Amino acid sequence: MKAKLFLMLALSAASVSATAQAAKFSRSTGHRSAPSLQVWGFALGQPPTLIPCPTTRDGLFDSRSWSPTLDSTCMESPTHADTSADGRAKTLPVHFSRAEEPALAAGVHARSFALVILDGTVQGVVARTSGLDSQKAVYAMLRKKYGTPTSVAKARGQNGRTGKAAEGISASWAMADLRVDFEGIGTTADEGTIFITTASAFEHAMKSPSAPSMSE
């Protein structure tokens, strides 16, 4: 089902809207705190520190003047960012240099990583994975960091290479101060998504009447 993700953003091959997936998750949170609010080098609750990416005359990301081999990791301009209905939250794609690119983001589609900015501070990240090929490793990584998930279930998708049905992992970690949701596969088995957000940003997105999606 196409979904309205609690983070206003869906990093999947097709644009995914941002409310309905939140409906499958409970509003309740756990009593324990997250082991860390550092996510792939980004400190949640702090202002973003990345340099701005180069832009075209229209203020869009200028891919021709930026090189992942030569240039530093950068964040797209908030001018054209996906923004929540109340204007408080924005999702800003990040473009990594080769030296700083997380392993899970390597080799997947463009615009595979984004920061969620709420009231001027980083309150979450959304990352696209390579789906079936990496879901066991990604799930193991999340379990190692966040412990036993609050909920875990099987998800169904289609293997884009073989056309056969594929089985994915759908898991959530609900903590007092952090929310982690992992979809091992999406509409197809070639991609999956990780959503990590503070509890306050999750609640904001759940209450938001509408939120945009990010297409490729």
In a domain? residue 69? yes
In a domain? residue 142? yes
In a domain? residue 4? no
In a domain? residue 2? no
- Report the pLDDT value the prediction gives residue 104, as an integer from 0 to 100: 72
Q: Which residue's structure tokens are 């984004």?
A: 114
**Position 80 confidence tier, pLDDT thresholds 50, 70, 90:** confident
In a domain? residue 164? yes
Show the tokens assigned to 35.
């082991």
- Give me the residues paired with residue 15 across strands: none
Q: What is the DSSP letter of 96?
A: -
> Residue 64's closest CA among 55, 77, 52, 75?
55
Q: Which domain holds residue 94?
A: 20-24+34-207
pLDDT in tens, 176-209: 999 999 999 988 788 899 999 999 998 888 887 6
> Looking at 10-110, which runs of residues are DSSP E strands?
38-39, 42-43, 51-52, 74-75, 82-83, 89-95
Asked whether the beta carbons of 212 and 10 are under 8 A apart, the reply is: no
Asked whether the beta carbons of 110 and 164 are under 8 A apart, the reply is: no
In a domain? residue 5? no
In 52-189, which residue ranges form alpha helices assigned H by DSSP? 135-146
How many domains is the chain built from?
Answer: 1
CA–CA dist 204, 54 (Å, integer): 30
In a domain? residue 7? no
Asked whether the beta carbons of 179 and 151 are under 8 A apart, the reply is: no
112 phi and psi angles, rounded to 5 deg: -95, 5
In a domain? residue 8? no
Note the pTM of the prediction, 2 decimals.
0.79
pLDDT in tens, 136-183: 999 999 999 999 999 999 988 777 667 778 889 999 999 999 999 999
